[in-house]
Each structure stands twice: as structure tokens, then as C-alpha cells.
């Protein structure tokens, strides 16, 4: 008899425990659903923020415009290209100055062949000569240090090859630049060396293509 009573009590305890678990589960269900919904909404909003970046928005943020001031006092203009190339043709740097220029340009990718640093590029195209001429002039005549030269060179590169830098910035933000047909840093390998800067070219190998 005692054994039967004990068995009934045990069954009642189990039934009571199961009922309590069901009540807890039913109460927690809506809270869990709300939590998942909020998390999903946050992730969706984050995804929208990343994908909302467009080439035009990025261009307005990072690309300098014609006439913008520079650290060396010459407003940005494509008309400066030949002047910078002439600097390259006539500049004479000491070994120490050559070292400053290499330190300045080595961290920058050449936008026309971005598997090469801007300090060497893959060839002596007019894009490269304009950057080298500007950099050499700033070192020899303006006494710029490596960091100052790098900043000025990057400003010039973003100005003359803006589409490449827009594409790189989009990629950094998780947006595929291929969707907008932006250049991939391969102009030298795809027959565009003789095209103007505005067509993602190198500005020519001899005569400046404008």
C-alpha cells in the first residue's frame, strides 16, 4: 500500500513539473520571437547601410575636384599634368631625396596596374611620370617630407583616376564595384595605356593623351 501511495505521489510530482515547464515555455515563446525579430531587423538595417553606398556618394566623400587647393599652392587641374611630367624630365634628386620619394610612394598602389607600387608602376606611362615629377619637385624644391609627399601624390591620383579609387572604397565598404563597371586597376594590362585619364587610361606613353 505504501508503495502504491509513493508511486502516485511520484507521478503527481512529474505531472506538476511537466505542467510547469510547459507554462514557462509558453510564456517565453513570445519573448523569444520578439528577440529574434529585433535581431533580424538590426541585421537587415546594417545590411541596408552597407549596400546603400553608391559611387556618387563615395565620389563626393573622397574625390577632390578641379580647382581644389593643394599643400603646394597649385590648385588641382588636369592642365598641371604636363607641368608635372616636365618636372620629371628635368628633376635631379640626390640619393637621400630618392629615398624620401620611395618611402612616400611605396605604400601607394599604382591605379593603372595595382599589383605594383606607385614608386615603380609597371612602366613609364604619363600617369606615373606625372606622380614622380610632382613628388620629386615637392622634395627638391619645397622640402616636403615623405608623408607630405604621399598625401599630395594621393590627392593627385584620386583626382586624375577617380573611378579606380571610388571602386576601391566601395569594395572596402562591402559593395561590389563590378556592379558599376568601375576599373579594376588593370589599365596597363588591358590595352588602355594610350587612353586619357578620364577613360581610366595612363594618359599615353609619349605624347600626353588628354
pLDDT of residue 50: 44
Q: 170 by DSSP, 3-state: which?
A: helix
pLDDT band at residue 148 using 50, 70 and 90 as cut-offs: very high
For residue 55, give the nearest of 134, 188, 171, 142 by alpha carbon: 171
- pLDDT digit string, tens, across residues 67-93: 999 999 999 999 999 999 999 999 999
pLDDT of residue 52: 54
- Return the HEC string of 135-149: HHHHHHCCCCCHHHH
Name the pTM for this structure.
0.76
First to last CA, the chain: 107
Please compute, for residue 195, the number of CA atoms within 13 A of its CA located in the half-sphere on the CB side: 15
At 13, which helix (H) or strand (E)? helix 2-51
pLDDT of residue 178: 95
pLDDT band at residue 56 using 50, 70 and 90 as cut-offs: very high
Residue 123 has pLDDT above 50, yes or no: yes
pLDDT of residue 106: 98
Q: 41 by DSSP, 3-state: which?
A: helix
Mean pLDDT over all residues of the chain? 84
Amino acid at each position: 500500500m505504501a508503495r502504491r501511495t509513493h508511486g502516485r505521489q511520484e507521478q503527481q510530482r512529474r505531472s506538476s513539473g511537466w505542467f510547469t515547464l510547459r507554462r514557462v515555455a509558453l510564456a517565453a515563446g513570445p519573448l523569444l520571437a520578439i528577440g529574434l525579430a529585433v535581431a533580424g531587423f538590426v541585421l537587415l538595417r546594417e545590411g541596408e547601410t552597407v549596400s546603400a553606398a553608391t559611387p556618387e556618394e563615395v565620389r563626393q566623400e573622397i574625390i577632390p575636384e578641379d580647382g581644389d587647393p593643394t599643400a603646394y599652392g597649385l590648385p588641382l587641374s588636369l592642365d598641371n599634368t604636363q607641368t608635372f611630367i616636365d618636372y620629371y624630365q628635368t628633376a635631379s634628386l640626390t640619393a637621400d631625396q630618392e629615398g624620401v620619394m620611395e618611402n612616400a610612394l611605396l605604400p601607394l598602389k599604382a591605379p593603372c596596374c595595382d599589383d605594383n607600387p606607385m614608386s615603380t608602376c609597371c612602366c613609364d606611362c604619363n600617369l606615373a611620370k606625372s606622380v614622380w615629377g610632382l613628388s620629386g619637385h615637392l622634395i627638391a624644391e619645397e622640402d616636403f617630407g615623405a608623408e607630405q609627399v604621399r598625401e599630395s601624390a594621393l590627392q593627385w591620383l584620386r583626382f586624375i583616376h577617380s573611378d579606380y579609387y571610388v571602386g576601391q572604397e566601395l569594395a572596402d565598404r562591402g559593395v561590389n564595384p563590378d556592379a558599376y563597371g568601375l576599373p579594376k586597376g588593370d589599365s596597363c594590362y588591358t590595352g588602355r595605356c594610350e587612353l586619357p585619364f578620364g577613360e581610366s587610361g595612363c594618359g599615353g606613353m609619349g605624347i600626353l593623351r588628354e
